[in-house]
Every structure is written in structure tokens, then in C-alpha cells.
């Protein structure tokens, strides 16, 4: 029954020549009791079904409402209407699933993104979200293709972990202990020995530490999975559950790491542009219309397609943290006190507004910042010879700021142990991690790319909640 259908996207590439086909999809509109716009999710373009007058029972036609699911068999003919090259003259119409027109919340009109977030289970049926999620799929496929073609091993690192890779402490606890009768130690603390794993565990914030174990055996690995931060940030840039791509490479230094990250970003953007041209052009038009509502100084200097092509054709600017501080400090923006967080000098942690200034106003292209002060970076980053900085790098993108964070990892056992001691990270809990420095240590590096931020960049969406199917944010875990 179903295996003979043709997808609308494939059908629209053919020339109308009287061929008989079967299509299935959902009704977008039904005009004049005769013209059905049918969509099956393979493309934003609808197929016009012509239900000839007098050919179909009135009771059947009354059930053809917006979002009803249909199976239609008929003949493909050249269209007499404007804007489409073919029609399907229906011979049989079968209703696979009814839809109550009065209760269905997505009517054929423009809906705000805020409203669509409230009905996230249905928003995939709109053109905007159809395009976003087809692009997201293409980017995810490109991630695997890029690393597979380079001979990387794909590793599944644990989602439940006993370590905090970032040292941030903003973690979701995993426990089976009862909340009303939590077992306690003599000092009043929770007795985790009675918990499922016999110790305190949490949802992972990163697969990096486990990824390093793989890299020091296979040479090059990557992970691509969900990560979690219990950060109470209700912003357009943060999610509590998001996806991370984290490659780790043995025999890499900081420069190798930066080269790979730049090549990777360009590859996956190009893949989406080559394979989802129609969707990206639709999203570019949507963004242009949205920006018309903004004041002139808030609008992007380039359209979405221009911006993506600009990234592909330009080398990323490489700049030390010290150089960035100097540029920001001397900028008119800083002198006129336009930054929310004024530039106080070397050692401060850069904010999103500073990153975006460097990318959008100063260099006008992506920037790779490197060699950060060790005090504002994680314990595992390789210490530079100056004793002040570490071999870290961040890639900053227009519109969203940091999109990649990475570093050369500290491979010297004595230096790593000393740094952990300084930062009060218990070495006994990470004995397995330190073993990689005891048995055949090598220079190695890696980075993490927040997948949703990359999807934002390629689709032009300004809110991260619109590029993940079911956003998890503070006080929100619907669907």
C-alpha cells in the first residue's frame, strides 16, 4: 500500500507527462472544493491536487481540512495555474487521518515564533521549521561524513558520569535515592553509597575527558551527543540540553587544532549549502523580512547566503587574547562606554558583546582567539612557556559569538597534577585520566562545537530554542 508512493520533492523534479503516481501527505489548503495543496515534509513546495468537480462524494470533500492526511492516486499533467509546473489530477482520494479544522492550531497564516514554541509538537509542519530541521539533518550528516572520511573513530562517551569536565559545577544530579528519606552520613551529607552507582553522579557536561582516552589509543576520535548544563540562563543563546561535537586528536598541537576546526566548519556549511539550497534560500528570505522591522543600525550588513559564502571564501582571522584585549580597549565602542562590561584589561573574561564586536565590527569575519590567561580556562589546557597563558582557542562567528572552544591538552603529568592541585581538583577521582599521561603520553588537542549554535548560524535563526526540536530551558520541559 505505502511503498509505491513518490515523495513530492522527487516528483517535482520530473516533467509532467501523464504518468500515474501515488502521493501521500498533509493538506495545507483546500480551495474552491477543488484544489488541494498537499505537502509531505520532503520540501516546502506543495503539490497541487485537482479534485475534478463532481468526481468525488461531498461527504469526502467535507473531511478535507487543513492537516488532514491523504493518499492520492492520479495523473501528472502540466499546470494551467501560475507558480507551479504540474498538477495531479486525482483519480482516487483516501483520507488516512482526519483533522478537526476548528481545533487545529496552525491555520494557513503567519504565526509568531513565540506562539510556535508553545506548540512545538506541531511547529515542524510550518515552512520555517521544515527548512530548519532539514538543514539540521544535513549538518548532522556532514559532521559524520567529514570525520569518517578523515579516518576518525566515532565514540559514544557516557551520558551519566561522575566527573565535571569543565569544573563549572552546574550539573544535573542523577540519583535513585528517595527525596523524602535521603540516607545521610554522620556529618549530615548525602550517603551516596546507597545510591544506584554507589557514588555521586550527574548528566555529562562534556565527553572530552573520556574522548582523550580514545584518542590516545586510536589516534583520532570524535563524539557527537547530548550534553547538559544546569545553568539558570533564560536567554536566546542557552539551553539546558544541547548537542556537542567533540573531536580529540593525538599528535596535534594548537595550530593543528585550529586548522582542523576551520576546515570542519567550512566543510559542514558547504555541505548544507550544496544539498539544501532551497531551504537556505527560503530562510534567507525569512531573515531579510524579519530584519526590515529592525532599526538600520541593528540590521546585518550581509544577507544569510552572503554571510555563509563569506565564511567559506575567507580565512579566519587568528588573534591572541592579548591582541584582542588591546583592540577592544582602544575601540571607540569602549571609549564611549557602549560595552555593558567595560574592558578593564588583560585577564578579564571576554563576554559575548566583546566577541561579536571583534567579529562583526572590527574584522568582519570569523575570528580564532588563542593563548588565553590560564586563570580563566580549564585545568586540562596546556600551559605555555610564559607561565601566564594556556594553548586554548575559541572560534567566534558573526551573530552568535563563540561557536567552538578547544585547546591543546596538557600532556605533561607533573604540570597537569600541579595545575589540578592549584584548582582543587581531586587527582584521586581522575586517576584514570592521569593514566594517559603515565603510559605513553603524547601531545594532543581537541575542541567542542555546540551543534545548535552552528545550526543557528547556518539557518539565520536568532533564538537557539528554534533550532532544536524540543528545547529544555529553565522551568520548561514540555513535550
Pairing of strands 389-397, 367-373: antiparallel
130 and 100 share one domain = no
Give the rounded percent of residues in the chain with a pLDDT score beyond 90: 85
The domain of 398 spans: 125-170+205-466
In a domain, 347, yes or no: yes
Number of domains the chain is built from: 2
231 and 132 share one domain = yes
Residue 2: the pLDDT is 67
144 and 102 share one domain = no
Q: Is the pLDDT of residue 168 over 60?
A: no
Map grid coordinates 545510591 to a residue: 195
Q: Residue 429 sits in a domain of what CATH number?
A: 3.30.930.10
In a domain, 193, yes or no: no
Query: Using an 8 Å Cβ cutoff, are 246 and 448 in contact?
Result: yes
Closest by CA to 206, choosing from 158, 154, 144, is 158
Per residue in 403-416, pLDDT tens? Answer: 999 999 999 999 99
Question: pTM of this prediction?
Answer: 0.94
138 and 209 share one domain = yes
Closest by CA to 270, choosing from 262, 366, 367, is 262
Per residue in 231-257, pLDDT tens? Answer: 888 888 889 999 999 999 999 999 999
Q: Is the pLDDT of residue 188 over 90?
A: no
- What integer best gives the mean pLDDT of the chain? 94
Measured distance CA(429)–CA(427) in Å, rounded: 5
15 and 147 share one domain = no
The DSSP code sequence of 316-332 is PEEEEHHHHHHHHHHSH
Q: Residue 85 sits in a domain of what CATH number?
A: 2.40.50.140
Per residue in 169-184, pLDDT tens? Answer: 689 999 999 988 899 9
- If DSSP codes are grouped into helix, strand and coil, which group holds residue 423? coil
Query: Using an 8 Å Cβ cutoff, are 467 and 113 in contact?
Result: no
399 and 440 share one domain = yes
Residue 84: the pLDDT is 86
Q: Is the pLDDT of residue 67 over 60?
A: yes
Residue 49: the pLDDT is 97
85 and 227 share one domain = no
- If DSSP codes are grouped into helix, strand and coil, which group holds residue 117? helix
433 and 335 share one domain = yes
Amino acid at each position: 500500500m505505502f511503498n509505491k508512493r513518490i515523495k513530492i520533492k522527487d516528483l517535482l523534479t520530473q516533467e509532467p507527462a501523464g504518468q500515474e503516481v501515488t502521493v501521500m501527505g498533509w493538506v495545507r489548503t483546500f480551495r474552491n472544493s477543488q484544489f488541494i495543496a498537499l505537502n509531505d515534509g520532503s520540501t516546502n513546495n506543495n503539490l497541487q491536487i485537482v479534485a475534478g468537480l463532481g468526481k468525488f462524494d461531498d461527504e469526502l470533500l467535507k473531511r478535507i481540512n487543513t492537516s488532514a492526511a491523504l493518499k492520492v492516486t492520479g495523473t501528472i499533467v502540466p499546470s494551467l495555474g501560475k507558480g507551479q509546473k504540474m498538477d495531479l489530477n486525482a483519480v482516487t482520494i483516501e483520507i488516512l487521518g482526519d483533522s478537526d479544522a476548528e481545533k487545529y492550531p496552525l491555520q494557513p497564516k503567519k504565526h509568531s515564533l513565540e506562539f510556535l514554541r508553545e506548540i512545538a509538537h506541531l511547529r515542524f509542519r510550518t515552512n520555517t521549521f521544515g527548512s530548519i530541521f532539514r538543514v539540521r539533518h544535513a549538518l548532522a550528516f556532514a559532521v559524520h561524513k567529514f570525520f569518517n572520511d578523515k579516518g576518525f573513530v566515532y565514540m559514544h562517551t557516557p551520558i551519566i558520569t561522575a566527573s565535571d569536565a569543565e569544573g563549572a559545577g552546574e550539573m544535573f544530579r542523577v540519583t535513585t535515592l528517595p527525596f523524602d528519606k535521603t540516607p545521610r552520613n554522620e556529618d549530615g551529607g548525602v550517603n551516596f553509597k546507597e545510591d544506584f552507582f554507589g557514588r555521586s553522579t550527574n548528566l555529562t557536561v562534556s565527553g572530552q575527558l573520556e574522548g582523550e582516552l580514545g584518542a590516545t589509543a586510536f589516534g583520532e576520535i570524535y563524539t557527537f551527543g547530548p550534553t547538559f548544563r544546569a545553568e539558570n540562563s533564560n536567554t536566546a543563546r542557552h539551553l539546558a540540553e544541547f548537542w556537542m561535537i567533540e573531536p580529540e586528536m593525538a599528535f596535534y598541537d594548537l595550530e593543528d587544532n585550529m586548522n582542523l576546526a576551520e576546515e570542519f566548519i567550512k566543510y559542514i556549511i558547504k555541505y548544507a549549502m550544496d544539498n539544501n539550497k532551497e531551504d537556505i534560500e527560503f530562510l534567507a528570505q525569512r531573515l531579510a523580512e524579519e530584519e526590515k522591522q529592525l532599526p538600520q543600525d541593528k540590521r546585518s550588513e550581509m544577507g544569510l547566503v552572503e554571510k555563509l559564502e563569506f565564511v567559506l571564501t575567507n580565512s579566519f582571522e587568528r588573534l591572541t587574547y592579548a591582541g584582542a584585549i588591546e583592540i577592544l580597549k582602544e575601540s571607540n565602542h569602549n571609549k564611549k562606554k557602549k560595552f555593558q562590561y567595560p574592558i578593564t584589561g588583560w585577564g578579564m573574561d571576554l563576554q559575548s558583546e566583546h566577541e561579536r564586536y571583534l567579529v562583526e565590527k572590527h574584522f568582519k569575519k570569523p575570528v580564532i582567539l588563542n593563548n588565553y590567561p590560564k586563570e580563566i580556562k580549564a585545568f586540562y589546557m596546556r600551559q605555555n612557556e610564559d607561565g601566564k597563558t594556556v594553548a586554548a582557542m575559541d572560534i567566534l562567528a558573526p551573530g552568535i559569538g563563540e561557536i567552538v572552544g578547544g585547546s591543546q591538552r596538557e600532556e605533561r603529568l607533573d604540570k597537569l597534577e600541579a595545575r589540578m592541585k592549584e584548582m582543587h581538583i581531586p587527582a584521586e577521582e581522575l586517576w584514570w585520566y592521569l593514566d594517559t599521561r603515565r603510559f605513553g603520553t603524547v601531545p594532543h588537542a581537541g575542541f567542542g562545537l555546540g551543534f545548535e549554535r552552528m545550526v543557528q548560524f547556518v539557518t539565520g535563526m536568532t533564538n537557539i530554542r528554534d533550532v532544536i526540536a524540543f528545547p529544555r530551558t529553565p522551568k520548561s520541559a514540555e513535550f
